[in-house]
Structure 1
Amino acid sequence: MTETMALPEIVSRDDWQIARDALLAKEKELTRAADAVAAERRRLPMVRFDATYEFEGPQGRVTLLDLFEGRRQLIVYHFMLAPGQKAGCPGCSMLVDNVGHLAHLHARDTTLYLVSPATPPEIERYKERMGWTVPWVSTLGDFNPDCGVDGGFGVSVFLRDGDDVFRTYFTTNRGGDQLIGTLRYLDLTPLGRQEAWEESGRGTDGPGHWWKRHDEY
């Protein structure tokens, strides 16, 4: 933060409440709009996906069907860690730092996995460095490219019906913001994310350019 950063106007408590109430009406409208988009997302058509894609993890080779761990839904985060790369993408790392206790997802019949092209030993080394317990496997074959992820990141969602697997959703780029609680907290503050796109004088960083691995700040 710089000394010249513009701060909010100072007003009386009554005037603050009037402004807060006006914003609250817009927040409720936004919540209803987000609920409507979520409902449309749930109604998206789905496409059959090969359940036999293979991955390699601590327990050996597994298939896409195995990643469900018997649950109905699977969320796959395509994490940017390539073979020979010593450290994972800072943005992907920020996202995984914000993953909550997986018991809450499991309670809703949903499994979460990270996948990367890096080898299992490379994945385990970085996972240990970051202190993560999220399941993470190495991709084998064309799974990432077939998901539209070729060197980048993304989130794929799958549904299992018996042994049949279907892909229901995918997002990337700023679509990943919705999974990062740190940003949600910063969006509540007057200084926000302190990125250049927000308001003039708030900062010079581009979206996500200030992110670092949590042991590098």
Structure 2
Amino acid sequence: MSTSDQNGKSSEQPAMHTPPVVSQQEWEAARQQLLIKEKAHTRARDALAAERRRMPWMAVDNTYAFEGPSGRLSLLDLFNGRRQLIVYRAFYEPGVYGWPEHACRGCSMVADQVAHLAHLNARDTTLVFVSRAPQADIARLKAHMGWQIPWFTITDSFDADFGVGEWHGTNVFYRDGERVFRTYFINNRGDEQMGGTWNYLDITPLGRQEVWEDSPEGYPQTPTYKWWNWHDSYVDDAPPDRKWVEVSDAGEAAFRHRPSA
């Protein structure tokens, strides 16, 4: 295969061994065959999330201290009044490649993928990033990159204590009144899937909080889809929009009767 670079020069690349080209009927048959495995993968992923929700918790006795745009905060403060807290340790500090103009390239890719936080907030969940960079540098970085994620400065042993002193990682915490518990931790390639609302909720102790989930007795759950909203329209304790309930009910019914569903 011959391609041209920016200067118009031709360069040879190894031939790609692409799959065969088939008819529409053969393509659909292959898709249905693969769909069997994909649906099994989805069920296995849901079962793993259910098992994750039953993991034991670890009490966090240290209050820890962070710096934010408005001053000093504790780990409890980072929850911002919600029950669940997801903390991603991003590497942005002196010594990190790109400093001070940029954070770690991998951590920056994670930040670029974070969905609108209103959806997590609607499920009683707060997401924050933490780094060792001063707040002035973090504010400048966020403005430059267009990030809206709450981002705090580590001031003590939080990173070392929770497995993120020398590498990135995502810790999940649960708040019961004034008590804080560590419920889950994921790092390395596990962080690659983070950013989407569903993937974040699936690593929390309460999950997506929808009625189809296999969760321990007494966990909060609401009808599937019904809590979804435009990110600028969530209102605390407001009932689901009646029209959206009708639309989602009709969609569910139609989806159940599709042979490929």
TM-score normalised by structure 2 residue count = 0.67
Aligned to 2:126: 111
Q: How far, CA to CA, are the matches of 1:3 and 1:134 in structure 2? A: 42
* Aligned 8 A contact 1:120 1:138 in 2: yes
Match of 1:96 among 78, 89, 111: 111
Structure 1 SS opposite 2:111: helix
Note the aligned Cα RMSD (angstroms).
1.7
Asked if 1:64 corresponds to 2:79, the answer is no
Displacement of 1:7 in angstroms is 2.2
Structure 2 SS opposite 1:149: coil
Aligned to 1:48: 59
Asked if 1:170 corresponds to 2:168, the answer is no
Where relative contact order (Cα < 8 A, 6+ residues apart) is larger, the structure is: 1
Letter in 2 for 1:74: L
| Larger Rg over CA atoms | 2
Displacement of 1:180 in angstroms is 4.8
Runs of 4+ off more than 2 Å: 1-8
Q: What stretches of structure 2 of length at least 5 have no aligned partner?
A: 4-12, 200-261
Asked if 1:120 corresponds to 2:135, the answer is yes
Match of 1:136 among 151, 156, 177: 151
Q: How far, CA to CA, are the matches of 2:44 and 2:86 in structure 1? A: 24
Letter in 2 for 1:155: T
Number of equivalent positions: 182
* Aligned 8 A contact 1:51 1:165 in 2: no
Q: How far, CA to CA, are the matches of 1:155 and 1:35 in structure 2? A: 20
TM-score normalised by structure 1 residue count = 0.80
Match of 1:146 among 161, 186, 191: 161
Displacement of 1:4 in angstroms is 2.3
* Aligned 8 A contact 2:87 2:127 in 1: yes
Displacement of 1:3 in angstroms is 6.7
Q: How far, CA to CA, are the matches of 1:155 and 1:108 in structure 2? A: 18
Structure 2 SS opposite 1:112: strand
Q: How far, CA to CA, are the matches of 2:17 and 2:137 in structure 1? A: 45
Aligned to 2:22: 11
The 1:94/1:71 distance shift into structure 2, 3 A limit, reads: same
- Superimposed CA distance per residue, residues 147-171 of structure 1 (whole angstroms, 9 cap, x where no aligned partner): 0111210000000000000000001
Letter in 1 for 2:60: F
Structure 2 SS opposite 1:137: strand
Displacement of 1:101 in angstroms is 0.8
Displacement of 1:8 in angstroms is 2.2
Q: How far, CA to CA, are the matches of 2:181 and 2:71 in structure 1? A: 24
The alignment-based identity, stated in percent, is 54
Q: What stretches of structure 1 of length at least 5 have no aligned partner?
A: 185-217
Q: How far, CA to CA, are the matches of 1:25 and 1:37 in structure 2? A: 18
Structure 1 SS opposite 2:66: strand
